[in-house]
Amino acid sequence: MNWLTNFVRPRIQAIVRTRETPDNLWTKCPSCGQMVFHRDLAQNQFVCTNCGHHLRIGPNERFERLFDNGTHTRVPVPAVPADPLKFRDTKRYSDRLKDTRAKTGEEEAVVVAEGTIGGRATVMAVQNFAFMGGSMGLAAGEALIAGARRAVANGAAFIVFSAAGGARMQEGILSLMQMPRSIIAVELMHEARLPYIVVLTDPTTGGVTASYAMLGDVALAEPGALIGFAGPRVIEDTIREQLPEGFQRAEYLLEHGMIDMVVHRHRLRDTLVKLVTLMVPEERAGAAD
């Protein structure tokens, strides 16, 4: 994994893909059904211009919007054993991985980059829902650990965007082990007294929510994001009744004291700049200990 394969290739593929697919000219809003011109949507940070729905976006959109001037470099993540269980369902896990890598241009579900936010050194990890539902396996855990280590080494803030259907089932118990392993990453931040900020995005469920996503010094969420431990369908099957309106949405979590605020994507950078500069005072900035 070098800079070339990790950074340049995905961007080139992303550009090529957009040009090649005429369907991409228009995007149908999954919430209101309105057809929105793709360029307008991109300009609006993938918030529906009609209804304000926040569409799911990938790591590059985040990095480019949130780092100062969009400037960032990818943080390398140590390689992990591939397909440790030799898992096969209707398809081989190794084939699924190969297909997803080709489709997304990314190596794995969690991508880490560093740069500055409001002038403060910041490491950012983004969980990519487009990569096998953002599912957390060995590589995701390793990415979060690598991100926290880099942040601690550079006296940087660590901002994590969560988005996952849950565990990478194809890695079985090793996927479950990423719950304690990702919490160790959080502990590293706490011990270094550096900010650990989580932005919960749609959807964040399962073991991801029940580990690093719920342990931020500050927890933000995007409007309307589904956030919970058990999925709504599992709960409906258990209690055999319909779930209340707005259940497990970001606003619901705010009301129940589980997060600090719901932030519109347009105000996300400002909010993060404010937080990071408040939490890392100028005299401490860049002083790794």
Q: Quote the CA–CA distance of 191 and 258 in Å, as a whole number.
A: 23
* Binder of other proteins out of 48, 77, 152, 213 (CB under 8 A): 213
Q: Which is nearer to other proteins, 198 or 275 (CB)?
A: 198
Residue 108: helix, strand or coil by DSSP?
coil
What are the backbone angles phi and psi of residue 197, rounded to the nearest 5°? Answer: -115, 130
Selection from 88, 86, 164, 95 nearest residue 132 by Cα: 164
Confirm or reject binding of residue 242 to other proteins (CB under 8 A).
no
Q: Is 220 left (phi over 0), alpha (psi -120 to 50) or beta?
A: beta
Place of tokens 């988005």: 163
Structure tokens at 162: 């969560």
Contact segment (CB under 8 A) with other proteins among 37-45, 151-159, 212-220, 279-287 equals 212-220
Q: How many residues bind other proteins (CB under 8 A)?
A: 55
- With CB under 5 to 8 Å by kind, the binding choice for 53 among Zn ion, other proteins, none is Zn ion
The CA-to-CA distance between both ends of the chain, in Å, stands at 29
What is the gyration radius of the CA atoms in the chain, in angstroms?
19
- Binding to other proteins, residues 63-82 (CB under 8 A): 78, 80-81
What does the binding site for Zn ion look like in residue numbers (CB under 5 A)?
A: 29, 31-32, 48, 50-51, 53
CB atoms near residue 215 (< 10 Å)? 18
Q: Which is nearer to Zn ion, 53 or 150 (CB)?
A: 53
Can you name the residues that pair with 110 across neighbouring β-strands?
A: 127
Q: Which is nearer to Zn ion, 48 or 208 (CB)?
A: 48
- Binding to other proteins, residues 10-49 (CB under 8 A): none
Q: Quote the CA–CA distance of 134 and 101 in Å, as a whole number.
A: 13
* Binder of other proteins out of 131, 175, 195, 273 (CB under 8 A): 175
**CA 9 vs CA 95, 102, 104, 107, 210: distances in Å:** 20, 10, 10, 11, 33
Q: Which is nearer to other proteins, 14 or 169 (CB)?
A: 169
- With CB under 5 to 8 Å by kind, the binding choice for 50 among Zn ion, other proteins, none is Zn ion
Smallest separation (angstroms) from Zn ion to the CB of 223: 12
Binding region for other proteins (CB under 8 A): 78, 80-81, 84-85, 87-90, 138, 141-142, 145, 167, 169-177, 179-181, 183-184, 186-187, 206-207, 209-215, 227-231, 234-235, 238-239, 243-244, 247-248, 256-258
